Structure 1
């Protein structure tokens, strides 16, 4: 995902959070911020990403 890291170079109003490559698709979390307030983020941008991932990995097929 080399392209992932270059997004803010082309779109300075985008802040990258996390991504996960899957076998046939990609999950992305990014923040699109206002041009008026370029350094404003939510107080807790990832409150439960780890727990969601853990729950997904533990599910029976």
Structure 2
């Protein structure tokens, strides 16, 4: 978090207002794309693993390829 704060301060200091605006726009677009790409997978996976460990333990390997 500190690195993110520090990098934004450096970018704001050394680039023009327009360039900083383009940088923030790019970060916003990437953040929205990340939300759409993951579709809540990181939040739903622990819930599904716990559910299947209790009911059908054999299906847990299908949820997480590394298990």
> Does TM, normalized by the shorter one, top 0.5?
no
Question: Where is the helix percentage greater, Structure 1 or Structure 2?
Answer: 2
Structure index of larger Rg: 2
